[in-house]
A and B are shown apart, each in its own frame.
Chain A
C-alpha cells in the first residue's frame, strides 16, 4: 500500500502563472489574485498521472506531489 499523495505549493517560488489550474482543474483552482488553491485531500488514483504531469508543467517548480507525511 503506497502512502497517499498530496499536492503542495511552495508559495515563495510560485508566481501565479496559473498553468496548474488550467491543467488540473479537478484539484486546483485559483484565488482572487491568481494563486493556486490546491485540494488538501489525497490525490485520487485516477488523477495521479495528471497530477504528476502538472507538477512537471510548473515553470517555477513551485508545485510538488508529496508522498509520505
Chain B
C-alpha cells in the first residue's frame, strides 16, 4: 500500500524518499500503486475537474493552470501530447533528476494526459543526458503492455530557447527548435496542425499523482493559493548544490539550509533562472518560495531555481555573463531580440568593467526590447538586467549627468 506517500503533507512525492528506491516499474508500482483507468468521457471530465480542484499549475516556469490547458486541448479534434523535458535552462537540473529518479511517474502522467484529452499519442522530449533512462523505462512498459496510448521518446535539441513550448513542437515536427508566432495557440494548432498539449514533465508527474490520490491529498502540501510540492534546483555558494522537492511556500532560507547552507557570506540570490530576478539574500531569506511570497520583490519561483551569489563575487559581472549567454541563445528570428540583446550585453559588460557604460542608452534598449519578440526570450533577459541594476546599481559611480 502507499500509506507513507498518502500521508498528508509529506514531501517528497515525486522524488524517492530513500536514495535506494528503485526507478524500475516494479518499484514504481509498489510505491504508488497502478494509475487509474480513464476509459470514458465521464472519467475524463472527472479527472480534469479533479486537476482543477487540485490547483495544479505548470512547473516549466509559466505557471499556467493545468486543468484549463487540458480542457482546451480536449475540446479539439485528434489532439496530441508533448511532454517537455528539454530543460533548456542551463542552471536547472530538476527535470533531469526527476526523469532519472521517477521515469515511470512522468510516463504515467504523459499517458493520463493523452487519455484525458483524447490523444492517441504522446511524444516525450527529453534532455540527452536522461534519454537512456527513459528508453529503458519504455522497454519495461512495452514488456508489461501496460499503456493504452502510443509513447514516443525524442532527444531534445540543445539551447536555451529549445525548451520554449512552440520550439519543442517545431523540433519534433521539422528538426528546428525555433519558437513560432502566437496566434495560433498550440492548444488550437500545434504539432502538424493538431491541437497540442505541451506540458512540462514535472507537471505531468504531479498529474499522475492527482489521478491516483485526488485533489485534497495534493493540496495537503503547499499553500492554499499555490498548492502542492515543487522541484527546486539550488546552486552557487551552497555546500550541497542539487535538486530537492519541497512544499511550495517553503521559506527561501530553509531551501538554502536543505542545500547544506551557504558556503560563504551571501550577497544576492538569483531566483527563477537565467530569466530570473536578483534579490537581496538577507531580504529574501524569510520569504516563502512562491509567486505570492516573492511578488513584491518582483521575483517568482520560475522554473524552481535559486542561485546563491557570494559577497566576494561581482553581481554586475555575473549578470553581464548571463546576458551575453542569452544574447547568443536568441533564435535569431526577431529583430529586437537578435540586435537588442547583444547591444544590451555590451553595455552590461562595460558597466561591469567600469568602461564608461551609457546607462541612459541601456535603459532605452531595455525598453525597446521588452515584450517585442515572438517568444518570451527577450523579456526574460530584460527582467534579469533590470533586477541587476536595482540590486547592484547603487554601487555604481554616478556618471556625469546622472546617467539617465
Contact = CB atoms under 8 A, between A and B. Distances in A.
Interface of A: 9-16, 31-35, 37
B365 interface: yes
Given A11-B335, A11-B373, A37 B180 contact: no
A55 B337 CA distance: 23
A32 B368 contact: yes
A35 B179 contact: no
17 contacts: A11-B335, A11-B336, A11-B337, A11-B374, A12-B179, A12-B334, A12-B374, A15-B335, A31-B336, A31-B340, A31-B372, A32-B365, A33-B335, A33-B336, A35-B336, A35-B339, A37-B372
Interface string B216-232: 00000000000000000
Contacts of A37: 368, 372
A47 to B, nearest CB: 22
Q: Which 8 A-B pairs have the closest CB atoms?
A: A11-B334, A35-B335, A33-B339, A12-B374, A31-B368, A12-B333, A10-B181, A12-B181
A interface, by DSSP: helix, strand, loop or mixed?
loop
Interface centre among B334, B337, B343 (most CB of A within 10 A): B334
Nearest to A37: B368
Nearest to B372: A11
A55 to B, nearest CB: 16
A28 to B, nearest CB: 13
A33 B373 contact: no
A35 B335 CA distance: 7
Interface of B: 179-181, 333-337, 339-340, 343, 364-365, 368, 372-374
Given A31-B336, A33-B336, A12 B368 contact: no
A59 B340 CA distance: 23
A14 B335 CA distance: 8
Nearest to A31: B368
A9 B365 CA distance: 18
Nearest to B338: A33
A9 B343 CA distance: 22
B180 A12 contact: yes
A42 to B, nearest CB: 18
A14 B338 CA distance: 12
B337 to A, nearest CB: 8
A33 B342 CA distance: 12
Contacts of B334: 11-12, 14
B342 to A, nearest CB: 10
A37 to B, nearest CB: 7
B333 A11 contact: yes
Contacts of A13: 181
Contacts of A14: 334-335
B299 to A, nearest CB: 25
A12 B179 CA distance: 9
A32 B341 CA distance: 12
Nearest to B365: A32
B178 to A, nearest CB: 8
B203 to A, nearest CB: 26
A46 to B, nearest CB: 26
A12 B372 CA distance: 10
A51 to B, nearest CB: 19
A64 B186 CA distance: 20
Contacts of A34: 335
Contact of B374 (A10, A31, A35): A10
Nearest to B340: A33
